[in-house]
Structure 1
C-alpha cells in the first residue's frame, strides 16, 4: 500500500522560539518536550521515518503529533480533556458538604472549634450524606470555592467615635501636614511606644549554627533570666530611632524617654515636635497631653484611635526588632539583651530609610465606606432574623 505523505509543517519565528523553550526547558514536562522535538524536526523538513530514528519514538506517535500541530498549532500539543472516572458524589452531596463546612461546629452540636477536612469527612459519613469519603476529596471539593474552615481571622469593631478625625491627624502628619498646614523644616514627627516583656531565656544547651542542609537549632528548654521593656521613639521622616531599656513601662519611663529625645538636637530647638502615641496607660488621655506640654512646651502629643496601633509606625520598627534581635530568644541575662538592643539601634540608624507609608486619607475613607457597608448589611440581617422569630 502507498504510504500517505507527511503533513508539511510551517512554523513561524514565534512558534519556533516557543517550541525551543518547550523542547529544551528543564522545567517542561517530559511529554511536552518530546512533542516539541517532533514538531521542530518536522519544521526542518525531516520525514516521519527519520524523526522516528532520531528520537526513538514510534512512527505512529511521530505521525500523530505532527498532524496535531499541522491542524491545531501550538495549543494542539497539550493533552486533550478526558472524561475520566465518573464522579463519585452528586452535585447535591457536594453542595451539602460545602454548606456544612460553612457552619460553625457549635451550631451543629459538634464539640469542635473549627472544622478540619478529616472531621468534615467523618461528619458527612455520620450524617449519611455520603457513604465514605476521604479527607483529600473533601479538601479538593472545598478548594473549588476557596473554602478553608480550618483557618480563621480575628477582627474588631471600631469603637472610637472620633476614629476618622484621629486617624486623619496621624496620616496627615506622615504626609508632613497638620491641620491643613504643611510642616516647616524645623517641625518633626516622632512615633513612640513600648515593647513590653522582652525575656532573657538562657537555653540549657548551646544554640547550633546552621550548616549544610540544616537550619539553626535552638534548644527548647531554657532558664528564665528576667524581662525588660524597650521604649523607643522613631522619627518617621528622618528614619532615626531613640530607645532605652527599662525594668517596666509606666509614666516615669516614658517621660524619661521623652526627656532623652528632647534634650538632643534638632528636637531641643525645634518649633514643634509631634509625638504619635497609642492609648496605653503610660500616655493616655488629656492628662498625658498636659503633662508633656508642661514639661516640653514645643512637644505636641497626638493619639492614634483606640485599637488602631497599626497607624503607629513604631510598630513596624518593633516587628523588625522582634525578627532580627529577639527571635529566637537566646540570652544569658538581661545585660546581654540591653547590649544587643543598643548595638542594633546603632546599626539600624546607620543605614535606615523612612518607611514607604502608602496608607493615605483617601484609603482611610475607602476603608470606612466598606466598613459602613458591612455594618449596614449585618444590621439588616439582624433585623430580618428578629422579625422571623
Structure 2
C-alpha cells in the first residue's frame, strides 16, 4: 500500500520561537524537549524516517506528534490534563494570592484571604501564572542597520559558506576573543580545599587571598575543535597579533588558501585598521567582524564557558604561574578530545529574531534604521 504523505508543518514565527525554547531549554522536561525537536525538524522539511533515526524514536511516535501539532498547534506537544484532586482554593483566593506575590504568605491569613496556607502552595500558584513581577531580564536592542548582513556572514561561515560559495578543504574558520581578569585566588592561608568524598562535594573556603590576575586570549577552530591560547598581563593590539601569529605559523593554517578570523569589535580588532593590519602580516587571513552587541555569534564564547566551568572554577590557585599552566594543559586536552560545537542557529532563526524585534521597534526608530540602511 502507498505510504501517506507526512503532514506539512508551517509554524508561525512566534510558534517557532516557543518550540525552540522547549527544545533547547535547560529546564524543559525531557519528553517536551523531544516532542518540540520533532516538530522543529518537521518544519525544516525533514521526513518522518529521518527524524526517527536522528531522535531514536519510533516512526509511529514521530508521525503521531507531527500530526498532533498539525491539528492542534502549539499546545499539542503538552500532555493532556488529568482530573487530579480538586483544588481547595477558590479562583478568588488564587487571584488575591497572586496580587500579594511580593509579600510573605502570612499576609494572606492576616488579610483574611484564607485560613491557612503554606509557602509551597503559594509558590506553586505563582509558578502557574504568566505574570511574575519579581523577575526581570535586561537586554540590548539592535541598533546596527547592517546587523543582518553582518550576522549572516558569520552564520554562513559556521555552515562552511562565504558569499554564497562553499569553503574548500584548505579554508578554515577561527573564532577569537579574550577573557580578561582571570584571577589566582589562594585559599591555603585561610583553610585548604577539601577534596570530594563519598556523598560529599568539594569544599572550598569562601575567604581567599588575591594572587593577581591575567588576560587569556584564545582562538578556536570552529570546524576542527582546535584551540590556541596565550596568557599575558593585559590585552591589546600586540597580544592579539601574537595570538594570530601563534596560530598562523602552524599547519594547516600557514599554507591554507584562506583563514577567516571571526572577532568582535574590541579596541584591538576594530574597524579597517585591524583588517589591514592582519592582511598585511598574513595575506591569507581574512578578518570578519560580528555585529555590535552580538558576541553570542562568536563560538569562542562557548569555549570560554567551558574553560570557566571546568578549568578556572573553583579558582583555587597559588599564583598566576599555576593559572597559566592549568590553561595550557586544558588547551592540549581539549584539542585532543573535543568535538566541534553543534551550532544550530541558522539564517532562518535570524530572520525570526529580527521579525520579533521589528514588532517591538517604535515607528520613529524604524524610519531611522531605514534611512541609515539606504545611506
The runs of 5 or more residues in structure 2 that have no matched partner are: 1-81, 366-375
Q: Is residue 2:310 matched to residue 1:338? A: no
Give 1:150 deviation, angstroms: 3.2
Output one character per residue of 1:210-232: Cα deviation in whole Å (capped at 9) or x when no partner. Answer: 11221101111111111001111
Aligned pairs (5 A) from 1:151-170:
151-170=135-154
Whole-Å separation in 1 of the counterparts to 2:284 and 2:315: 39
Give 1:138 deviation, angstroms: 3.3
Give 1:149 deviation, angstroms: 3.3
Give 1:294 deviation, angstroms: 1.6
Partner in structure 2 of residue 66 of structure 1 = none
Give 1:141 deviation, angstroms: 2.9
Give 1:92 deviation, angstroms: 4.1
Partner in structure 2 of residue 260 of structure 1 = 246
Output one character per residue of 1:130-170: Cα deviation in whole Å (capped at 9) or x when no partner. Answer: 47775624333323325443333222211222111111000
* Residue 128 (structure 2) aligned to one of 144, 156, 163: 144
Output one character per residue of 1:82-102: Cα deviation in whole Å (capped at 9) or x when no partner. Answer: 6675x4xx534543543565x
Q: Is the 8 A contact 1:96 1:129 kept in 2?
A: no
Give 1:262 deviation, angstroms: 1.1
Q: Is residue 2:300 matched to residue 1:317? A: no
Whole-Å separation in 1 of the counterparts to 2:245 and 2:83: 73
Whole-Å separation in 2 of the counterparts to 1:378 and 1:274: 37
* Residue 205 (structure 2) aligned to one of 214, 219, 225: 219
* Residue 222 (structure 2) aligned to one of 214, 231, 236: 236
Output one character per residue of 1:30-86: Cα deviation in whole Å (capped at 9) or x when no partner. Answer: xxxxxxxxxxxxxxxxxxxxxxxxxxxxxxxxxxxxxxxxxxxxxxxxx9966675x
Partner in structure 1 of residue 184 of structure 2 = 200
* Residue 172 (structure 2) aligned to one of 188, 191, 195: 188
Alignment coverage as a number of residue pairs: 281
Whole-Å separation in 2 of the counterparts to 1:198 and 1:292: 27
Aligned pairs (5 A) from 1:11-50:
none
Task: Give the root-mean-square deviation of aligned CA atoms.
Answer: 2.7
Give 1:378 deviation, angstroms: 12
Q: Given the superposition, is the C-alpha separation of residues 324 and 250 from structure 1 closer, same or farther in structure 2, using an over 3 Å criterion?
A: same
Whole-Å separation in 1 of the counterparts to 2:86 and 2:166: 67
3-state DSSP of counterpart to 1:189: strand
Partner in structure 1 of residue 34 of structure 2 = none
| Structure showing greater relative contact order (alpha-carbon pairs closer than 8 Å, 6 or more residues apart) | 2
TM-score by length of 2: 0.69
3-state DSSP of counterpart to 2:253: coil
Q: Given the superposition, is the C-alpha separation of residues 328 and 378 from structure 1 closer, same or farther in structure 2, using an over 3 Å criterion?
A: farther
TM-score by length of 1: 0.66
Aligned pairs (5 A) from 1:1-389:
87=89, 91-92=91-92, 94-98=94-98, 101=101, 115=102, 117-118=103-104, 122=107, 130=113, 134=117, 136=119, 137-203=121-187, 204-375=190-361
Whole-Å separation in 1 of the counterparts to 2:96 and 2:87: 24
Q: Given the superposition, is the C-alpha separation of residues 178 and 332 from structure 1 closer, same or farther in structure 2, using an over 3 Å criterion?
A: same
3-state DSSP of counterpart to 2:183: strand
Q: Given the superposition, is the C-alpha separation of residues 125 and 357 from structure 1 closer, same or farther in structure 2, using an over 3 Å criterion?
A: same
Partner in structure 2 of residue 63 of structure 1 = none
Q: Given the superposition, is the C-alpha separation of residues 175 and 261 from structure 1 closer, same or farther in structure 2, using an over 3 Å criterion?
A: same
Whole-Å separation in 1 of the counterparts to 2:83 and 2:279: 75
3-state DSSP of counterpart to 1:300: strand
Whole-Å separation in 2 of the counterparts to 1:215 and 1:311: 35
Output one character per residue of 1:275-295: Cα deviation in whole Å (capped at 9) or x when no partner. Answer: 000111121122211211122
**Max radius of gyration: which structure?**
1
